[in-house]
Amino acid sequence: MGKDKDKNSVVLKVPKGTKDWDGKDMVIRDKIFSTITQVFKRHGAVTIDTPVFELKDVLTGKYGEDSKLIYDLKDQGGEICSLRYDLTVPFARWLAMNSSIQNIKRYHIAKVYRRDQPAMTKGRMREFYQCDFDIAGTYDAMLPDAEILRITCEIFEALGWKGRYTIKLNHRKILDGIFQVCGVPEDKLRTISSAVDKLDKSPWEEVRREMTEDKGLDGEVADRIGEYAVLKGGRDLLEKLQNNATLSANESAKQGLADLDLLFTYLKSFSVLDRVSFDLSLARGLDYYTGLIYEVITEGSAPQTKEGQDLQRAGKKEAKPNKGPTNIDGDEDRSNDPSVGVGSVAAGGRYDNLVSDFSKKQQIPCVGISFGVERIFSITKQRLAADKTAAPIRTNEVDVYVMAFGGKGFEGLLAERMDVAKRLWDAGIKAEFSWKVKPKLPQQFKAAEVNGVPFAVILGDDELAAGKCKIKEMGLAGDHPEKDGVLVEMKDLVEEVRARLAKKEEVEMLADGVNGMGVEEGAREAAKTG
């Protein structure tokens, strides 16, 4: 918006990096919430909630270089606070304050805040939801970690992604071991790890420049790291590293490799081994990770245009999009920047020392994952737009539209429509009717069709006089025998509507089952072949 000449007027806009949600977007987002929550509950999780802001000291020193993205709040009464950056650190703080809880499966769905460069249409925002699942407690190695990855696959399959995603994983102890054998000083381990973590966004040349010029690492050490950082694979890569005498002699790397060996065995049992990629470029920049780390990517995670991919490879810091802002800074929306992708849609790892950072009296090992709802939404919306067979998105869940018609002298049957709607509501059936006293029939049908209402109950003077009404399923083909509806006794209306709704739901569930059969068969085949 331009500068307003009237200093007393308010310029109506949302802050940069935020948006209002309404209509079909809310329907899609709520469906994502519901799907994720169902999987969390299936695995025995309970939910908690924490304040949207924390004492600044609680958040300080937990996020490495990303700490600069924290929103600080003005002193409002003697306490210096900041908006929460994620849901993990508040969870660890909560555990430290509730010492009687030594183990828990917890999920938390809430907004977090980061002063990052936004790309709104790609789900990269400053205010966004995270859906976290964490397992806290002392258990045998890699069992909770394996279940987290199984949960991840269940969620993306339930969202209809049908295998179009990859879980990249690595291990902080393997990384530390690699850095140590390559000659990285101990005081530079975390900062070099943060540089390596940028390999999904920048070419090796740019990462090497940051290591050497910005962070003072010896060039030969950086080159040795580069030989490892480009490696990715599965069990083949794990075995290659286990057979590397130099790496296996390092205690940190040895322990990390043993963890992954055990994890791969468990992932095979869970039929999700084919979904993971062991990727040594994955580092996860946050300081609190201590073991296994992972993130989920899909085809929208990277730039989708060749121009964007070329820009990344060239290591340019600023893109020159054809449309939108040409001067990219910390406040501009980069949605039209072809070098920006959606990024990872979920990420997490093991953090065994975070609770003890808050309470020296106890150490509670933890492992978890966070799903970025806005990024998942961005990908889901793109796929729905491209899928011509996708069912239309309904903005409400009304099952029945009560309508009336008549000839000359028609008075609208308002009292009768209200009575039928009341009967349906009393029975727990979602219903609507026109708020016009004398509505026209085409307008009533249009209102039902716009919202995708599956059934209409149609009232007429003659039918009512006979104690009957008509139930019509919307959208039937012209030659369908019930195209014009079916007469039913008014006294049986509720039971008839329930039966038809149940039958329609059964048909839709059967269709969903047929569509998903390939995924299930694929999982079984993967289990057979390992």
Residue 522 has pLDDT above 50, yes or no: no
Q: Among 245, 287, 262, which Cα is nearest to 67's?
A: 287
Contact 91, 351 (CB under 8 A): no
> Which DSSP string do the residues of 468-515 spell out, in sequence order?
EEEEEETT--TT-TTTT-EEEEGGGHHHHHHHHHHHHHHHHHHHHHHH
**Among candidate residues 15, 7, 3, the one with its CA nearest the CA of residue 128:** 15
Tell the burial category of 123 from Cβ atoms under 10 Å away from its Cβ (0-12, 13-18, 19+): buried
Q: What is the mean pLDDT of residues 170-187?
A: 92
In degrees and rounded to multiples of 5, residue 86 shows phi and psi of -150, -175
**Closest to 173 in 3D by CA, of 148, 145, 193, 146:** 193
Q: What is the pLDDT of residue 491?
A: 94
**Segment 103-140, tens digit of pLDDT:** 999 999 999 999 888 777 776 789 999 999 999 999 99
Q: Architecture of domain 23-386 in CATH? A: 2-Layer Sandwich (3.30)
β-bridge mates for residue 109, sequence order: 131
Q: What is the pLDDT of residues 226-236, one digit of tens each?
A: 999 889 999 99
pLDDT over 50 (residue 527): no
Residue 439: band (very low, low, confident or very high) from pLDDT cuts 50, 70, 90? very high
Mean pLDDT is lowest, of 61-65, 424-428, 473-477, for 61-65
Domain boundaries, the chain: 23-386, 400-529
Name the pLDDT band for 201 (thresholds 50, 70, 90): confident
More confident residue, 306 or 33: 33
Q: pLDDT tens digit string along 456-467? A: 999 999 999 999
CB within 8 Å of 292: residues ≥ 6 apart: 142, 145, 169, 170, 171, 172, 259, 260, 263, 349, 350, 367
**Contact of 69 with 115, CB cutoff 8 Å:** yes
Q: For 46, phi and psi rounded to 5 degrees?
A: -115, 160
**What was the pLDDT predicted at 331?**
63
Annotated binding site for L-histidine: 86-88, 114, 130, 134, 284, 288-289
- Identical fold between 23-386 and 400-529: no
Confidence tier at 341 by pLDDT (50, 70, 90): low
Is residue 379 within 8 A of residue 298, CB to CB? The reply is yes
Residue 262 has φ and ψ, to the nearest 5°, of: -70, -40
Separation between Cα atoms, residue 329 and residue 316, nearest integer Å = 14
Q: What is the pLDDT of residue 6?
A: 62
Q: Is the pLDDT reported for residue 379 higher than 80? A: yes
Mean pLDDT score, 190-200: 83
Q: Of all residues in the chain, what percent carry a pLDDT higher than 70?
A: 86
Q: Which of 200-204, 220-224, 458-462 has the lowest mean pLDDT?
A: 200-204
pLDDT of residue 512: 58
pLDDT at 327 over 50: no
Q: What integer pLDDT is reported at residue 116 of this predicted model? A: 83
How far is Cα 491 from Cα 60, in angstroms, rounded to an integer?
67
Segment 211-228 mean pLDDT: 91
Alpha carbon distance 411, 406 (integer Å): 8
Q: List the single range of 299-313, 395-409, 430-444 with lowest mean pLDDT.
A: 299-313
Class of domain 400-529: alpha beta
Mean pLDDT of 486-498: 94
Least confident segment among 36-40, 105-109, 219-223, 516-520: 516-520
pLDDT category, 244, cuts 50, 70, 90?
Answer: very high
Which residues carry a binding-site annotation? 86-88, 114, 130, 134, 284, 288-289
pLDDT at 266 over 90: yes
pLDDT of residue 342: 65
In the predicted model, is pLDDT for residue 302 greater than 70?
A: no
- Angstrom CA distances, 138 to 102, 144, 448, stand at 8, 10, 55
Confidence of residue 172 (pLDDT cuts 50, 70, 90): very high
More confident residue, 362 or 83: 83
- Rounded alpha-carbon distances, angstroms, from residue 177 to 291, 338, 456: 12, 36, 67
The pLDDT confidence band at residue 530, using thresholds 50, 70 and 90, is very low
User: Among 170-184, 227-241, 351-365, 504-518, which stretch is predicted with the lowest mean pLDDT?
Assistant: 504-518
